[in-house]
Amino acid sequence: MLPTHDRDLTRDELGRLVRDLAGRAHDLEHLVEHRPDARTYTELHRDEHVAVWLICWMDDHDTGFHDHDLSAGAVAVTAGAVREERLVLGGAPASRTARAGEAFTFAASDIHRVSHAGGEPAVTLHAYSPPLWRMGAYEVTPAGELRRYSMSYAEELRPIGAEGEGARPNEASGLGGGRRGESEAGPSPLFGAALANL
């Protein structure tokens, strides 16, 4: 199992954490489950300072633009590829594709979206510090205005409003059937056992 952290981690430390976990992704293969209708995601670890998730992606999976409230983060791609776009004032979003073996980090204040980049299904490992509790989901209106909707980390991110067909947060069940393997008390002991060798 991952050690309990005694402080919040920096973006660089989160990047090293997900790269290290990605180097041992074969230990997590039994948790990989791809569904065409929704991302699947499993919380692998949570303590007072860090949370780690495994997320599976397929075509058309898209978070929509969002922030992570108070949490910085890092993402490592272990299979396939995902596209990250960051909002830029006065221009088109800055876009990059991260493929298996690559990672990226972001500040709590960054507004970005992540989507499957096409081709084979993708698997990513995400680390957040402090752990996610709230996020902001964004709608870009036809007039170019940016609207933020506060949401719980337990709600599934999807494009909203003019950027997509999804409901605004809290208008529909946010879980979308995508989460598995955890209860309100935290991750299942099965996943703790899976991390025992990490």
Residues 96-148 have pLDDT tens digits of: 999 999 999 999 999 999 999 999 999 999 999 999 999 999 988 888 888 99
Per residue in 35-47, is it b (16+ CB within 10 Å) or e — as a string? eeebbbbbbbbbb
What is the per-residue pLDDT for 195? 41
Secondary structure (DSSP) of 40-60: EEEEEEE-SS-EEEEEEE-TT
Is the pLDDT assigned to residue 173 strictly greater than 60? no
d(CA 112, CA 168): 17
Contact call for residues 116 and 62 (beta carbons, < 8 A): yes
pLDDT band, very low/low/confident/very high, at 154 (cuts 50, 70, 90): confident
Architecture of domain 11-194: Sandwich (2.60)
What is the per-residue pLDDT for 117? 97
Q: Which residues contact 138 (CB under 8 A, 6 or more apart)?
A: 64, 65, 66, 67, 87, 111, 146, 147, 148, 149, 160, 163
pLDDT average, residue stretch 76-101: 94
What is the per-residue pLDDT for 145? 85
pLDDT average, residue stretch 175-194: 37
What is the per-residue pLDDT for 20? 96
Is the pLDDT assigned to residue 48 strictly greater than 70? yes
> Which of 64-68, 77-81, 89-93, 135-139 shows the lowest per-residue confidence on average (mean pLDDT)?
89-93
Is the pLDDT assigned to residue 45 strictly greater than 80? yes
